[in-house]
């Protein structure tokens, strides 16, 4: 086995590949996370190192992006929650977007270790890719979703309290009183239990949606690149670049869309649980 470039990719594994047998946590997706995080931090720090009231250059670009996100999410979570929640929502969006797009950089998933093939650095197949898109690893997406849900619980309890939260989910709504309240109580208790189950499954749905899209995208690109694998060299090399090319544009779109969907759903969850205190019936329960 040697390190090289795999020109004709195959089905990628669901599992991230560890680099060391004794340190299975250090995987190729974690390496990409480290790289993406480092790039993000360098970019953000360089943009905000010398902040000025009238922005210019990198600060201007960074501020434009952040301001667009701030305005968008402020409209969802409300002005009273945006200051608290914005850093996490924005981090989720920026990090997921950066990780998704970094996964499209040529070499991610196709440079690694495997049995050698003809040509310099060529492999028969990449058995252990050096780099794997972070969000094509469920550990990453589930980790982000769980981290968000921890904060969601903290923000919800701090805003409406435990009693308010339980009342919002289990008590009859619509200002009912008297006998009607008791009649409808079992129904609302039942819907409350369903609501709690749906809340518990939020991290699962959030993480699986992102993982599924990115993993599927990665698989799609690999499949496209191996369509001409039976053809002679260099035709199969050319087709391995040309065939997936249109899908790269699709994946660029999917990358930003999934980042936005993840952040947007997080914002909606915050909105749903923190605005009920202002008045009943505000915000629908939907997922």
Partner 1 sequence: MNPAENIARTFGIYWPNLIAQVILFVLVYLILRRYAFKPIVDMFEERRRRIEEGQLNAEKIKQQLALAQQRYEEILAKASAEAQRLMEEVRASSERLADQKRQEAIAEAERINQKAQESIQLERERVMAEVKHELGRLVVEATEKVTGKVLTPSDQQRLNEETARQLATA
> What is the binding site for partner 1 (CB under 8 A)?
13-16, 24-27, 29-30, 33-34, 37, 40-41, 44-45, 47-48, 51, 53, 62-63, 66-67, 70, 83, 86-88, 90-91, 94-95, 134, 137-140, 142-144, 146-147, 211
CB of 194 to partner 1, least distance (A): 21
Do the beta carbons of residue 170 and residue 188 sit within 8 Å? Answer: yes
CB of 195 to partner 1, least distance (A): 22
Residue 8 or 99: which CB sits closer to partner 1?
Answer: 99
Q: Is 207 helix (H, G, I), strand (E, B) or coil?
A: helix
CA 50 remoteness from chain centre: 30
Residue 61 or 166: which CB sits closer to partner 1?
Answer: 61
Residue 146 or 220: which CB sits closer to partner 1?
Answer: 146
Written as six digits, the tokens of 146 are 């769980």
Cα gap 216→101, rounded to integer Å: 14
Residue 84 or 167: which CB sits closer to partner 1?
Answer: 84
Give the DSSP letter of residue 118: S
Categorise residue 128: left if φ over 0, alpha if ψ from -120 to 50, beta otherwise: beta
CB of 87 to partner 1, least distance (A): 4
Residue 7 or 62: which CB sits closer to partner 1?
Answer: 62
Q: Which residues contact 222 (CB under 8 A, 6 or more apart)?
A: 9, 10, 11, 12, 109, 244
CB of 49 to partner 1, least distance (A): 8
For the chain, helix, strand, coil in percent to 5 are 65, 5, 25
Cβ of 81: how many Cβ atoms within 10 Å?
Answer: 21
Residue 83 or 121: which CB sits closer to partner 1?
Answer: 83
CB of 140 to partner 1, least distance (A): 5
CA-angle at 38, arms to 76 and 133, nearest 5°: 75
CB of 284 to partner 1, least distance (A): 29
Do the beta carbons of residue 19 and residue 34 sit within 8 Å? Answer: no
Q: Is 110 helix (H, G, I), strand (E, B) or coil?
A: coil
């Amino acid at each position: 086995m040697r390190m090289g470039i795999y020109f004709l990719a195959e089905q990628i594994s669901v599992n991230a590949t560890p680099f060391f047998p004794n340190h299975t946590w250090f995987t190729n997706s974690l390496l990409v996370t480290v790289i993406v995080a480092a790039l993000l931090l360098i970019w953000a720090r360089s943009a905000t190192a010398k902040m000025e009231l009238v922005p210019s250059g990198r600060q201007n670009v960074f501020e434009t992006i952040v301001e667009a996100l701030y305005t968008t999410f402020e409209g969802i979570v409300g002005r009273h929650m945006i200051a608290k929640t914005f850093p996490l929502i924005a981090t989720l969006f920026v990090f997921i977007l950066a990780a998704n797009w970094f996964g499209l950089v040529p070499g991610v998933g196709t440079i690694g270790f495997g049995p050698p093939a003809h040509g310099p650095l060529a492999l028969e197949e990449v058995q252990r890719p050096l780099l794997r898109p972070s969000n094509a690893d469920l550990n990453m997406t589930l980790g982000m979703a769980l981290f968000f849900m921890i904060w969601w619980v903290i923000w919800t309890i701090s805003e409406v309290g435990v009693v308010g939260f339980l009342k919002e989910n289990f008590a009859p709504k619509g200002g009912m009183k008297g006998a009607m309240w008791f009649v409808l109580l079992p129904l609302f208790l039942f819907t409350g239990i369903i609501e709690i189950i749906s809340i518990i499954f939020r991290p699962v749905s959030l993480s699986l949606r992102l993982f599924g899209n990115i993993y599927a995208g990665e698989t799609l690109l690999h499949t496209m690149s191996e369509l001409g694998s039976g053809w002679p060299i260099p035709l199969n090399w050319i087709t391995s670049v040309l065939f997936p090319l249109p899908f790269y544009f699709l994946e660029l779109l999917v990358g930003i869309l999934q980042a936005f969907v993840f952040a947007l759903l997080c914002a909606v969850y915050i909105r749903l649980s923190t605005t009920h205190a202002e008045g009943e019936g505000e915000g629908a329960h939907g997922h």
